[in-house]
């Protein structure tokens, strides 16, 4: 399989899941190999955490491409070792069965193995684990970013594009945010205005930011605008690059934070800008301070809109009171339902549908 194929990372994740299957775990634990297994599984988790980032970068980074080649080879070798061992376990388990013994524990099966088989398994697993550990350590040198284990929020990619004909019940929210942008000013120094938009998942934070971002009055008011989807695994360098590329519409090849921030500050200096940071999770105040350092020196009235689920994040970043996005009214919920369910058709043609879907029967609607 060519390394450049986009499904490589997904393929490896499926493979890793097989390597950590319940049967394999039972086999190794039965042989008192839990220390080897734990180290093996921990290393796999570290590698799984950077697969998406590696896949994103392999086309422009030869070192990352070769890293993925080696990772694929080690994964196949690991699969071969465990498959051979699992097959031998099954074979010996079947051979040991009697008419009155329909089941034999893995622990009992292990005792039937020659010492050479156990030693060979242990030796192979150690060798593969060491190869995986080497690759895991190299992730730092390659600059690959990790996502917390079990987290699905590495990045929720969004854009500023929105179809406002599908938006209902957010006119007052929009007016309030635009009023902030046009009238509020930072409380001191050359600090930029930061407006947090806060709410539960799916409530419409991103949508509200989109309609504000695309408003004609806002377009006239600001000289520069940028829209950035913020990775869950917050990295100042990554976010700075995204802001710079969004503002300039040019891909940036700088590899260190200093170059990126010097360039961004030069681009923003003296300009009135609006930057949207969508879906922020970072609670590290020092990282936030580093990110906004290039913003100083911009024209008065420059602003940042932050969307987040976390009140803690909003309080840390905001220079004005947070704007909380509330649930839609029953009427607006009904309008959303009708528009998506019937598209250009009218519900009036069949009142039975109206009765079935009447919003009064819905306890809650976002």
d(C-alpha 91, C-alpha 97), whole Å? 10
The mean pLDDT value for 6-20 works out to 55
Lowest mean pLDDT among 52-66, 85-99, 131-145, 323-337: 85-99
pLDDT at position 361: 44
Are the C-beta atoms of residues 46 and 148 closer than 8 Å to each other? no
Nearest to 277 by CA among 248, 333, 317, 218: 317
Lowest mean pLDDT among 137-146, 272-281, 349-358: 349-358
Output DSSP code: residue 101: B
Q: Domain residues of the chain, as ranges?
A: 8-141, 164-324, 330-361
Q: What is the CATH number of domain 164-324?
A: 3.40.50.300
Q: Is 228 helix (H, G, I), strand (E, B) or coil?
A: strand
d(C-alpha 51, C-alpha 68), whole Å? 9
pLDDT in tens, 158-216: 888 887 766 777 889 999 999 989 875 655 556 789 999 998 877 889 999 999 999 99
CA distances from 66 to 4, 55, 326 (A): 11, 12, 49
pLDDT category of residue 365 using cuts at 50, 70 and 90: very low
pLDDT category of residue 241 using cuts at 50, 70 and 90: very high
d(C-alpha 223, C-alpha 299), whole Å? 10
User: DSSP string spanning 173-215?
Assistant: HHHHHHHHHHH---SSTTPPEEEEEE-STTSSHHHHHHHHHT-
Q: Which residue has better confidence, 355 or 251?
A: 251
pLDDT reading at 266 higher than 60: yes
d(C-alpha 101, C-alpha 106), whole Å? 14
Nearest to 257 by CA among 232, 236, 284: 236
Q: Is 274 helix (H, G, I), strand (E, B) or coil?
A: strand
Identify the bridge partners of residue 229 per DSSP, sorted by sequence position. Answer: 278
């Amino acid at each position: 399989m060519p390394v450049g194929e986009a499904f490589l990372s997904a393929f490896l994740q499926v493979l890793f899941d097989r390597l950590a299957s319940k049967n394999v775990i039972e086999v190794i634990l039965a042989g008192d190999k839990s220390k080897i297994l734990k180290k093996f599984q921990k290393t796999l988790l570290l590698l799984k955490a950077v697969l998406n980032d590696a896949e994103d970068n392999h086309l422009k980074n030869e070192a990352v491409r070769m890293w993925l080649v080696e990772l694929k080879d080690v994964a196949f070798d690991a699969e071969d070792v465990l498959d051979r061992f699992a097959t031998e376990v099954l074979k010996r388990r079947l051979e040991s069965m009697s008419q009155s013994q329909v089941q034999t524990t893995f622990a009992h099966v292990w005792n039937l193995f020659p010492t050479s088989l156990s030693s060979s398994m242990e030796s192979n697993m150690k060798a593969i684990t060491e190869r995986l550990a080497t690759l895991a350590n190299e992730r730092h040198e390659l600059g690959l970013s990790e996502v917390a284990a079990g987290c699905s929020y590495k990045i929720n990619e969004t854009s500023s594009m929105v179809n406002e004909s599908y938006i209902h019940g957010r006119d007052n929210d929009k007016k309030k945010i635009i009023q902030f942008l046009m009238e509020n000013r930072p409380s001191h120094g050359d600090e930029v205005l930061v407006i947090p938009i806060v709410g539960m998942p799916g409530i419409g934070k991103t949508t509200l930011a989109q309609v504000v971002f695309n408003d004609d009055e806002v377009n006239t008011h600001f000289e520069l605008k940028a829209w950035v989807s913020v990775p869950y695994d917050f990295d100042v360098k990554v976010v700075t690059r995204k802001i710079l590329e969004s503002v300039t519409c040019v891909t940036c090849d700088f590899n260190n934070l200093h170059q990126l921030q010097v360039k961004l500050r030069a681009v923003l200096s003296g300009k009135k800008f609006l930057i949207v940071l969508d879906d922020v999770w970072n609670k590290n105040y020092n990282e936030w301070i580093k990110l906004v350092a290039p913003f100083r020196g911009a024209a008065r009235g420059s602003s940042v809109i932050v969307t987040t689920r976390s009140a803690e994040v909003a309080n840390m970043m905001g220079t004005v009171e947070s704007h909380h996005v509330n649930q839609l009214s029953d009427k607006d919920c009904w309008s959303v339902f009708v528009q998506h369910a019937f598209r250009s058709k009218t519900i009036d043609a069949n009142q039975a549908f109206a009765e079935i879907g009447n919003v009064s029967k819905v306890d809650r609607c976002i």
